[in-house]
Every structure is written in structure tokens, then in C-alpha cells.
Structure 1
Amino acid sequence: MARIESKVRDLVGSDSDMRAAVETVLERADDGEVEWADVRDELTSGQWGRLIEKGILVDGDEGFRLADVTATRAGLEDDDSSSGSSSVASSSSSSSTDTGDSSWSKYDKGAAVVTVGLFLGYSVAQVRNVIGGVMDVFLGPLAELLPFYAVVMVLALATGLYSTLLQANLMDMEKMSVYQERMKDIQKRQKKAREEGNDAELEKIQEEQMEAMGDQMGMFKEQFRPMVWIMFLTIPVFLWMYWAIGVGGANAQPHVTLEPLVLPMVGQVEWTTGVIGPMQAWIVWYFLCSMGFTQIIRKGLNIDMTPSAS
């Protein structure tokens, strides 16, 4: 794979310390697979992050794996120190491309497009009525069996469950941890260089900071990917509640039987009464239920959504 070979050559040409880092990874990779714990005694988190950022290391079965072992070795053997100056200029562009691609698939992108279209339902009554009518085929029987406050609780439980599972399965926490560790490592070295008055080291770290800007885009995409699917599934539910309660205009009529709602510290209110500023009672009730159920689900399933260092 010529591209990997070129990336390795550029990387070790622009930073002599990276040669030893790549050699260590090659040495400790088991059938091409390697984890941060295997090399953390020899590599800084910044070096580990750059290998992932460049695409030299990619997601593996258990940790990370070398994208192409042979090409990686060839990149070390064919390293030409004279190409070092040009590689610095090219590293920024390749960094943003590799990191920016993240793990989004064509299905993720398709869901994002559909989600943007679903947002029209909040402002266009015709779209809201169509989606509300379709969703009522599935949710209408539930509204006939339970009082509407309990229906909202069931929906909050369901959305909290799939939101937690989507975040846990679509967000790469190991990659997020690498991003964060790299930024912390850069800040730590930058602070030390300033205290020592090491201008040469500061300049080198500033170049690395510019290169790490691609990490920010990578982190954003990793965080936003599950949100696309969560909104894709949740917006139709919200539009059904809009439709069922009769929100969205003076002539809007409820499509379900509504009893007054009793909220903590507020008392008995109508479903469309403003409770917290413009937020109506039904939205406040949904979010109270959703937040409570989500915390219970995360504790029950032992799911931690906070990236942690390896």
C-alpha cells in the first residue's frame, strides 16, 4: 500500500523521534494488532495519536492494528531525510483528511440528510400531520391503553434506552481518549517549554498543535455520529406528541384524551401551558422522565459515556 508507505516516510522525515515510535509499534504488534497498553512505556500519547491520525494505525478487533505492516516497514527502510522539509507542509493536509473521515458510513450520512428533512415538521404543519399520522399507527394503540402521562413515560424510557445504546456502540471511546490524551500531552509539554524558555521546542510544539487541529474535527464527528441516529429516531416521536396533543397553531386539536398533568413543584397544569419560559408542560414532563430513565439505564447497564485514558 503505497499510501501508507508514503505516510510513514513523511512522518519519520518530519520528526526523527517518530522512527523509534514506529519501530516500537512494529516490534510489539501481535499479528498486526497492538494496544496502547503494549507501547505506553516507549511512546508518548502524542506519538500514538499521530499514528492513528495518519491512518498508520486503524481500528482492530481488540485495539488497533497496523493498516499495512509491509508498507510500514518499507516506509522506514526507504526514509529519505531530504524529504523532511516537504513532509511538514503535507502533514497538515493529510492529517485533516485522515482524521476528518472518522468512521462515518454512507448510512450515517444518509440518516443525517433525512434528519435535516424531519426538522421541517416542527415548522410545517403538513409535514407534522403526515409524520404524526404514520407514527399514530404504532403509538395510537398505546395511547388508548394508558393515560397520556404514562405514554410519555414509556416513550422517554424507550428513547433513553436506544440513545444510550447508540452512544455506547457508535462512539469510539478509545479513539476519543487518544484525542484527549494527545491534547493534554501537548499542553503539558508546551507549559514545560515555556517555563524553561525553550523557544525551539515551543516552535515544534506549535507546529504539532496546528497538525492536531484535525483531532478536533475527528472528536466532533465521533460525538455527532450517534446524535444523528438518535435524532433520526426521536424527532418522529416528538412530532407525534406535537400532533397528538394538538400543538402548533390556534386551530390544532388534540388527537388523544388529555387529563390535566401534575408536575413537581408546579402542580396541576394543562399540557400546553408554559411552565419554564416558553417550554410547555408536556416537554418538561418528557425531559424529566428522560433524564431520570437515562441515568438508571446507564447505571444498570454499567455504561460510562466519559472518555478515559487507557
Structure 2
Amino acid sequence: MPAEQLEVLLDTPAMREALAVVLERTDGGSEEIQWNDVSDALSSGQWGRLIGQDVLVGTSSGFVLANPDQVRDVLDGTEVDASAENQADDIEPEMWTWYDKAAGLGVLILFMGYWNSQIRNVVASIDDLVLGPITDVLPFYAIIIVLAVVTGLYSTVLQSTLMDHKKMQTYQDRMNDLKERREAAKERGDDEALERIQKEQIEAAGDQLGMVKLQFRPMVWIMLLTIPVFLWLRWKVRGGHLGAGETGMVLPLAGSVGWQDTVGLMPTWIVWYFLCSMASRQLIQKTFDI
């Protein structure tokens, strides 16, 4: 196994600890080992992963380390990295700038427009200054397609730009490591380790909040731009602002339906928008490799 591949395998403290146990109980890799020899310290998943990655290779009577010297070298290196990780255990919390908070406040105000007709009419009237001329050129179903593509484009860009993917991966790695260690301790019946891991999980509760804040920041900016589109569409359909010939469209399976008719659980215009939005986002992500 290449050293790089072995380092990837040892991406969590749980797997480093598991391989260290195997190295110790094979007397530095010179002896064979069986599952019964390590079942008190490893989970079956960890054992299977070591075999699946060819760290352990089968013999006629058990398993041996494929390359004990390489394993020892990589473990020595990762122990240094692990100590550095422990010194910098705390992940810097996600901080919202004042304009992020202002955007969040704007979203709350716009969101009230779904129930407050005054807010909805003001927002829709402003939107109509830009979108109104387009309605003279394109049919309403095509306007929804254009809006779905535009919202899909900026949603994808904002999601990619504003999300700290490295920090999100760090949160996820930490949670996965705790889960893996908990499963391993449960399988071997180590109550002391379970209690210790449970305390770590309680201390890591802030990670969940950090992940939510990371995910919600781009969503705030996406909603700030998308809610006005929905308010304009609702104002257009339910406010009687469609043209005389804009009664509805033909949908697959549903047939000819009016814009306010219910398809499944939602009005036709919302269903059509979501279908176009999902298709456009998939196309945008594949086209720009986002």
C-alpha cells in the first residue's frame, strides 16, 4: 500500500488507535493475528477496513501486516500530527459580519410578505419595474423558466462562495470520529471509553451549532434574493395580474392545469418553478463543475 493511501486510511484518531493496537499485538508486525486477538479493542468495521485496504493480508492461519515498517513510520508521523490537532482542538467559530446580520433581518421582513399584503405589494411592485417588460415578450411559463435559471445560478454561486468548505469538513470529520470511536467502544463493551466519549460529544455540541451557522449564512443571502421572486410570482398569479390568455399550462402526468390549481400539494406555478429550478441547478453545477 502506498504511504499516501495509508495516511488517508488513518484520517481519524480511531483508525490510528486501531492500527497501533494491531501493530503492538503482532509484536511489531512479526507475528500473525486473528480477529479474536483484537476484538476487545477494535470494532468489526475497523477490522474489515484494515483488511479491505490491504493493510492486513490473509495467510493460511490468520493475518499479517503487509508492510509493518511502513505502518510504523506512518503511525510515528501521524502521532505528531495528532498532537498538533489536539493543541488546536477548538475550531474558530463562524462569525457573521454586520451585513450578514442585516441580510438576515431583511429576510425576516421579506418573509412576512407571504402573509402581509402591504409588504407583498410593495416588493412585487418594485420587482415589476424590472420583470414587467419581460411579460410583454415571453409567456408566463417561460418567465418562470428564466427566473428559475437565474435563481439557480446565483444560489449555486453563493453556496460555493460563502460556504467555508474546509471548516465544514473539519466539523464533519470530528463528528464522524466520535461516532466511530463510540461504535468501537460499544462493540468491545468498554463502558469507561463510552462514558469518556459521551463527555466529548457533550463538549462538541457547539460543533452542531457551528455547522448550522456555516450552512445558514449562504442561505440567508440566497433567500434575500429569492423571496422577492416568489412574492412577485404570487402577486402575479393570485393578484389577477396575468394576461387574459395566461390561464395555465400542460404538465406531464397532470395534463392541462390552471396556475392556481393544486398539483400534488402545491399550486401549479410553484411546482413548475421547483421543477425548472432543480433542473437548472443540476445543469449549472455540471457545466461549471461546482
The TM-score, its normalising length taken from structure 2, stands at: 0.68
Instruction: Determine the structure 1 residue equivalent to 2:257.
Output: 269
SS for the counterpart of 1:104 is coil
Mark the runs of 5 or more structure 2 residues left unpaired by the alignment: 1-75
1:296 corresponds to 2:288: no
Match of 1:207 among 199, 220, 223: 199
Q: Is the 8 A contact 1:115 1:232 kept in 2?
A: yes
SS for the counterpart of 2:78 is coil
| 1:31-64 deviation per Cα after TM superposition (whole angstroms, max 9, x unaligned) | xxxxxxxx98336789748826354xxxxxxxxx
Mark the runs of 5 or more structure 1 residues left unpaired by the alignment: 1-38, 56-98, 304-310
When Rg is computed on C-alpha atoms for both structures, the one with the higher figure is 2
1:282 corresponds to 2:282: no
- Whole-angstrom distance in 1 between the partners of 2:134 and 2:77: 53
State percent identity of aligned pairs.
48
- Whole-angstrom distance in 1 between the partners of 2:173 and 2:262: 44
Shift of 1:144: 1.1
- Whole-angstrom distance in 1 between the partners of 2:104 and 2:174: 29
Change (3 A) 1:42 1:302: farther
Give runs of aligned pairs for residues 52-67 of structure 1, distance below 5 A.
53-55=90-92
Q: Is the 8 A contact 1:156 1:293 kept in 2?
A: yes
Match of 2:79 among 42, 52, 71: 42
| 1:68-113 deviation per Cα after TM superposition (whole angstroms, max 9, x unaligned) | xxxxxxxxxxxxxxxxxxxxxxxxxxxxxxx3xx132111111111
Instruction: Determine the structure 1 residue equivalent to 2:211.
Output: 219
Change (3 A) 1:161 1:199: same
Residue identity opposite 1:209 in structure 2:
Q
Residue identity opposite 1:262 in structure 2:
V
Shift of 1:154: 0.2
Give runs of aligned pairs for residues 18-167 of structure 1, distance below 5 A.
41-42=78-79, 48=85, 51=88, 53-55=90-92, 99=93, 102-167=94-159
- Whole-angstrom distance in 1 between the partners of 2:274 and 2:77: 42
Match of 1:253 among 229, 240, 243: 240
Residue identity opposite 1:231 in structure 2:
M
Residue identity opposite 1:226 in structure 2:
P
What is the total number of aligned residue pairs between the two structures?
Answer: 214
SS for the counterpart of 1:53 is coil
- Whole-angstrom distance in 2 between the partners of 1:140 and 1:172: 37
Change (3 A) 1:150 1:143: same
- Whole-angstrom distance in 1 between the partners of 2:274 and 2:83: 40
Shift of 1:165: 0.6
- Whole-angstrom distance in 2 between the partners of 1:187 and 1:181: 10
CA RMSD of aligned residues (A): 2.3
SS for the counterpart of 2:256 is strand
Q: Is the 8 A contact 1:261 1:271 kept in 2?
A: yes
- Whole-angstrom distance in 1 between the partners of 2:232 and 2:83: 48
SS for the counterpart of 1:262 is strand
Q: Is the 8 A contact 1:46 1:183 kept in 2?
A: no
Shift of 1:253: 1.9
- Whole-angstrom distance in 1 between the partners of 2:137 and 2:181: 62
- Whole-angstrom distance in 2 between the partners of 1:49 and 1:280: 53
Q: Is the 8 A contact 1:262 1:269 kept in 2?
A: yes
Change (3 A) 1:256 1:203: same
The TM-score, its normalising length taken from structure 1, stands at: 0.64
Shift of 1:264: 1.2
Instruction: Determine the structure 2 residue equivalent to 1:233.
Output: 225
Shift of 1:204: 2.5
Instruction: Determine the structure 2 residue equivalent to 1:17.
Output: none
